[in-house]
């Protein structure tokens, strides 16, 4: 996605074990400018890229730590980013089944989705803002892997499918960036093309035992979070990340000339959506 993979197992501070081990929310990170040069991450500020490189070269990686003011510290298993298609959750396999024509894999990370699509004979371009991750993708056999930020107007192309998995909405960052996101998708999609995107409704995290929402309505949208990562001594800058419920996604899609379809629900409040330009 112009970003790189992050996988977070998160849980609420006052209910630390609720859903732990089963609710793994995938996220991509779009880091702030002090970590970036020309829209790309610098190696010294790219904890995810460092972890991906270590895992590829040695078969293991150290702790990839994830911090958030909203949740307790956690860590992610880097090996998940290298999984085979048969190990992917049903939502991701469904998305792969729906890919057609020229495919743009946004925030491709270690390239697991791109490699699966290549094996199916599809024309896939994988992009990520992490040069370290892109290097690993190329070494793993992704034929078209590029360092790029899809929010950069200089990045252009014409794709039948834009694939955004592992909480693909994350790189949008904030709801106020929705118009920018949809504008860029219009610029990148071929006629009749679509975006396949997954996300999660975090409502369940804030529900009490009676099902009532325990949310500060003055604090903004409950799916707008902030994260920071660290791998060994490499620390990334804080970055915004967006989890969006389907109704909110559909509203912004309609406001920006798109149609949103809910294709499939996951096991843990996640869903797969298709976004298409309204003709």
Chain centroid to Cα 174, Å, comes to 14
| 212 has a pLDDT exceeding 70 | no
Give phi and psi for 111, each to the nearest 5: 90, 20
Residue 72 CB burial class (10 angstroms; 0-12, 13-18, ≥19): middle
For 21: left if phi > 0, alpha if psi spans -120 to 50, otherwise beta; the answer is left
Q: 4-277, what's its fold?
A: Rossmann fold (3.40.50)
Q: Say how far apart CA 9 and CA 3 lie, in whole Å.
A: 19
Number of H helices, E strands in the chain: 6, 16
| 30 has a pLDDT exceeding 80 | no
Predicted TM-score of the model (pTM): 0.86
- The share of the chain scoring above pLDDT 70, in percent, equals 84
| 31 has a pLDDT exceeding 70 | no
Q: Which two tokens stand for residue 94?
A: 């469904």
Q: Say how far apart CA 186 and CA 145 lie, in whole Å.
A: 22
| 22 has a pLDDT exceeding 70 | no
Q: Say how far apart CA 85 and CA 72 lie, in whole Å.
A: 31
For 81: left if phi > 0, alpha if psi spans -120 to 50, otherwise beta; the answer is alpha
* Max mean pLDDT range (20-29, 40-49, 117-126): 117-126
| 7 has a pLDDT exceeding 60 | no
Q: How confident is the model at residue 96 (pLDDT cuts 50, 70, 90)?
A: very high
Q: Mean of the pLDDT values across residues 125-149?
A: 97
Q: Mean of the pLDDT values across residues 75-93?
A: 95
Secondary structure of residue 79 in the 3-state scheme: helix
Average pLDDT over all residues of the chain: 86
Q: How far is CA 217 from CA 22, 173, 223, 236, in A?
A: 28, 19, 12, 29
Q: How confident is the model at residue 5 (pLDDT cuts 50, 70, 90)?
A: very low
Q: Which two tokens stand for residue 245?
A: 């419920």
DSSP 236: P
Q: Which two tokens stand for residue 86?
A: 């048969």
With contact defined as beta carbons under 8 Å apart, do 133 and 52 qualify?
A: yes
Q: Where are the beta strands (DSSP E) in the chain?
A: 4-9, 24-29, 36-37, 40-41, 64-68, 71-76, 102-106, 123-128, 145-147, 159-164, 189-200, 224-231, 234-235, 239-242, 258-265, 270-277
Which of 127, 115, 123 has its CA nearest to residue 154?
127
What pLDDT sits at residue 219?
A: 76
DSSP 96: H
What pLDDT sits at residue 218?
A: 72
């Amino acid at each position: 996605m112009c970003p790189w993979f992050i996988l977070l197992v998160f849980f609420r501070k006052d209910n630390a074990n609720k859903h732990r081990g089963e609710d793994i929310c995938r996220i991509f990170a779009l880091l702030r400018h002090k970590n970036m040069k020309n829209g790309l991450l610098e190696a010294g500020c790219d904890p995810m890229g460092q972890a991906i490189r270590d895992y590829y070269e040695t078969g293991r990686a150290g702790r990839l730590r994830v911090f958030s003011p909203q949740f307790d510290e956690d860590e992610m298993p880097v090996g998940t980013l290298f999984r085979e298609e048969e190990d992917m959750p049903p939502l991701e396999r469904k998305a792969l089944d729906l890919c057609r024509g020229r495919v743009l894999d946004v925030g491709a990370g270690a390239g697991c989705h791109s490699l699966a699509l290549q094996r199916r004979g599809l024309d896939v371009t994988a992009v990520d803002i992490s040069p370290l991750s892109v290097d690993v993708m190329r070494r793993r056999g992704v034929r078209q892997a590029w360092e790029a930020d899809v929010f950069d107007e200089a990045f252009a192309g014409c794709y039948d499918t834009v694939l955004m998995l592992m909480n693909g909405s994350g790189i949008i960052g904030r709801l106020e960036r929705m118009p920018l996101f949809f504008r860029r998708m219009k610029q990148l999609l071929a006629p009749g093309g679509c975006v396949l995107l997954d996300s999660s409704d975090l409502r369940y995290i804030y529900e009490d035992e009676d099902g009532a929402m325990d949310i500060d309505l003055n604090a903004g949208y409950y799916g707008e979070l902030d994260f920071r990562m660290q791998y060994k001594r490499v620390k990334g800058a804080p970055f915004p990340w967006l989890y969006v419920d389907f109704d909110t996604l559909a509203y912004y899609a309609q406001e920006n000339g798109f149609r949103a379809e809910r294709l499939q629900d996951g096991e843990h409040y996640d869903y797969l959506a298709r976004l298409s330009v309204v003709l």
